[in-house]
Amino acid sequence: MSLTGKIAFVAGASRGIGATVAAALAREGAAVAVAARSEQEGKVPGTIYSVAERITAEGGRALPVVCDVTSEESVENAVTATVSEFGGIDILVANAGVLWLGPIESTPLRRWQLCLNVNLTGVFLVTKAVIPHVRARGGGSLIAITTTGVEMIDHGANAYWVSKAGVERLYLGLAADLKDDNIAVNCLSPSRVVLTEGWQAGGGGLQVPPEMVEPPEAMANAVVRLAMQDASGVTGTIQRSEALTF
């Protein structure tokens, strides 16, 4: 298995793309921290425990860790718990996200702030917390999940795309900062739409034609490929799941 001996921290792993990614990393031999807020089933299915149990039942190694990416204390506790259990961190998948596609004029301030807090500040906090641990391992791979919407300026503006644009700027610059530490820093997004629980709840009832739908496994396979390498490979790039350029 290609990731045997590696340790991955997947933020936003209680359902959707993050849950599929966590399982795929474990199948490749990585020990995986399944990080998110949900400890009990709520309106949307999936908890850190159910995802971790599924991985363990398949013979993988998983640690459920409670983590709210908008809280520095919560992130630090989750990272500390991961390092105590597994001995370090080699791979970060900064996947936690919330969707809000409404136009600016009808966007309540609290929605704007939620998008920026989870999608941008959340990536900042988890990235900041894991960097010393990845550096201590002699290198690794940081992957932030963004969206093709960043490029769609002919489709207007919304809080979600703005927050993801910030992440891409953060990660592209961070790649330069961490090159000498042998840490690869890349962004990855689905090429099309993954019909996850989050998309169904936040997509505003938008109908997605079947040819625009992508299985979550495409993201899982792309994450595994990015996770397998360090800064001697590809770094400072924005990748699309179905069209990797390396």
Catalytic residues: 160
Member of 6, 12, 129, 184 binding ligand NAP (CB under 6 A): 12
> Which of 131, 143, 125, 130 is closest to 25 using CA atoms?
143
Closest residue to ligand NAP using C-beta atoms: 198
Our finding on whether 193 is near ligand NAP (CB under 6 A) is yes
- ∠ Cα 130 17 30 (to 5°): 50
* β-pair type (61-66, 237-240): unpaired
Our finding on whether 34 is near ligand NAP (CB under 6 A) is no
* Distance of alpha carbon 236 from alpha carbon 180, whole angstroms: 13
Evaluate whether 157 touches 29 at the Cβ level (below 8 Å): no
Our finding on whether 198 is near ligand NAP (CB under 6 A) is yes
Q: C-beta of 29: minimal distance to ligand NAP in Å? A: 23
Decide whether 2 or 200 has the Cβ nearer to ligand NAP.
Answer: 200
DSSP 8-state assignment for residue 193: B
- Binding residues for ligand NAP, total number by CB under 6 A: 30
Decide whether 20 or 141 has the Cβ nearer to ligand NAP.
Answer: 20
Q: C-beta of 175: minimal distance to ligand NAP in Å? A: 19
Member of 72, 197, 217, 242 binding ligand NAP (CB under 6 A): 197
Decide whether 75 or 234 has the Cβ nearer to ligand NAP.
Answer: 75
Q: What is the dihedral of CA 156, 186, 65, 21, to 10 degrees?
A: 80
Say which residue the tokens 């590809």 belong to.
234
Q: What is the dihedral of CA 169, 199, 211, 226, to 10 degrees?
A: 40
139 φψ region: left (φ > 0), alpha (ψ -120 to 50), beta (else): left
Member of 27, 70, 86, 231 binding ligand NAP (CB under 6 A): 70
Per-residue burial over 136-152, b if 16 or more Cβ lie within 10 Å, else e, is ebebbbbbbbbbebbee
**SS3 call for 124:** helix
Q: C-beta of 179: minimal distance to ligand NAP in Å? A: 25
Decide whether 15 or 137 has the Cβ nearer to ligand NAP.
Answer: 15
Decide whether 69 or 131 has the Cβ nearer to ligand NAP.
Answer: 69
Window 87-116: residues binding ligand NAP (CB under 6 A):
95-98
Window 136-175: residues binding ligand NAP (CB under 6 A):
145, 147
Q: C-beta of 4: minimal distance to ligand NAP in Å? A: 26
* Distance of alpha carbon 149 from alpha carbon 162, whole angstroms: 9
Binding site for ligand NAP (CB under 6 A): 11-18, 36-38, 67-70, 95-98, 118, 145, 147, 189-190, 193-194, 196-199
